[in-house]
């Protein structure tokens, strides 16, 4: 069986082979960016300020080895990620959300996720009575994630409450602006790990994910939504706000997609929203490396639209 990882040195004089199989993560490295085919999942260069789809890094070969190690540890998740990104690229966003959810549910039943789950320390749920707070001021609706004691970790109750809020925003034409914020030290630290692995029926989990989808609702009202980020924006904490028509980030904002290390892929819409802003190659880079992106680089890449001080929620 072929390795799930393939590295191509694009500075080699021989022309790089095109993709022969669809179950590999294909990474290209070059001293300087150049025009290449769209077969590659990640493109790395040592040149500074490389244009999209390239990623600048001090040592491209070391970064490629890091990706190779990630793929070796979680081959199913890594290959599924790049497959979802490739296949979804020409499709409507609604179809891409379906593909993401199906793939996520498949991985929930996989050995990689179960192995990660077996080593994860147990966490007790710390729910909120009202995990999302609403405030109406004229034509503006402010939606605030409000579980600051867990950095607004995204649990089922928060998902359902956010859906209810966004349904109002999408259905009410008198609401012209929606401000999406997070209370406390971080906008959202990602999925609530206390709930990870709690669903034993992954088919039903897919059905629920599609029926109660904040991502789908954000697509409907994106033009009037501004997301205000600060602190840690991990997993769902960047996947959902990336759907917003405008994203403002405080200087202390940091972004990360950690799901591959868990044997999963982004499952809150991130394979749709993040590539729409930065391209599938840079999305794959973020997910496969687990790199933390600071606010300045997020702005440079277009993942956020402006830097602004965090305002009180």
**For 162-209, what is each residue's pLDDT tens digit?**
999 999 999 999 999 999 999 999 999 999 988 887 778 999 999 999
**Spatial distance between the Cα atoms of 132 and 125, rounded to a whole number of angstroms:** 17
Region of residue 266 (left: phi > 0; alpha: psi -120 to 50; beta: else): beta
Torsional sign, CA 299, 168, 105, 20: negative
Would the pLDDT of 116 be above 90? yes
Question: 33-74 pLDDT, tens per residue?
Answer: 999 989 999 999 999 999 999 999 999 999 999 999 999 999
Confidence bin at 16 (pLDDT 50/70/90):
low
- Tell me the domain boundaries of the chain: 5-73, 94-307
Quick one: how many helices (H) and strands (E) in the chain? 11, 13
Token representation of residue 256: 């990360």
Residues in the chain: 313
May I ask the CATH class of domain 94-307? alpha beta
| Mean pLDDT value across residues 9-23 | 68
Work out the average pLDDT over 96-123.
95
- Which tokens belong to 100? 């993401």
Rounded to the nearest integer, the mean pLDDT of the chain is: 94
**Would you state the pLDDT for residue 18?**
53
What phi and psi values does residue 305 have, to the nearest 5 degrees? -100, -25
The answer to whether the bond into 172 is cis (omega within 30° of 0) is: no
3-state secondary structure of 293: strand
* Alpha carbon distance 39, 25 (integer Å): 10
Residue 210, classed as helix, strand or coil, is helix
Residue 125 pLDDT: 87
Average pLDDT over residues 244-259: 98
Is-contact 264 251, C-beta < 8 A?
A: no
The pTM of the full predicted model, rounded to 2 decimals, is 0.95
254-256 and 293-294: which strand pairing? antiparallel
Instruction: Report CA 11 to chain centroid distance, whole Å.
Output: 31
Cα 178–chain centre separation: 21
């Amino acid at each position: 069986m072929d390795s799930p990882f393939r590295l191509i040195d694009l500075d080699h004089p021989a022309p790089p082979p095109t993709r022969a199989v669809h179950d590999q993560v294909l990474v290209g490295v070059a001293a300087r960016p150049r025009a290449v085919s769209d077969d590659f999942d990640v493109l790395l260069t040592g040149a500074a300020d490389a244009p999209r789809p390239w990623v600048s890094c001090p040592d491209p070969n070391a970064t490629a080895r890091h990706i190779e190690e990630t793929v070796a540890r979680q081959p199913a998740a890594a290959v599924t990620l790049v497959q979802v990104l490739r296949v979804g690229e020409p499709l409507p966003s609604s179809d891409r959300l379906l593909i993401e959810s199906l793939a996520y549910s498949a991985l929930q039943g996989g050995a990689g996720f179960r192995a990660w789950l077996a080593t994860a320390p147990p966490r007790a749920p710390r729910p909120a009575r009202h995990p999302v707070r609403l405030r109406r001021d004229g034509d503006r609706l402010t939606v605030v994630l409000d579980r600051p004691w867990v950095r607004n970790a995204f649990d089922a109750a928060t998902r359902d409450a956010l859906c209810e809020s966004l349904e109002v925003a999408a259905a009410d034409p008198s609401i012209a602006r929606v401000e999406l914020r997070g209370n406390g030290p971080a906008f959202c630290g990602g999925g609530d790990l206390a709930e990870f692995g709690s669903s034993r029926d992954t088919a039903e989990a897919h059905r629920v994910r599609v029926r109660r989808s904040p991502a789908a609702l954000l697509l409907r009202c994106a033009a009037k939504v501004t997301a205000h980020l600060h602190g840690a924006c991990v997993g769902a904490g960047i996947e959902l706000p990336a759907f917003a028509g405008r994203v403002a980030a405080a200087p202390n904002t940091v972004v990360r997609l950690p799901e591959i290390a868990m044997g999963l892929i982004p499952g809150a819409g991130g394979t749709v929203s993040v590539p729409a802003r930065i391209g599938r190659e840079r999305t794959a880079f973020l997910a496969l490396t687990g790199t933390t992106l600071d606010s300045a680089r997020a702005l440079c890449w277009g993942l956020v639209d402006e830097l602004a001080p965090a305002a009180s929620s």
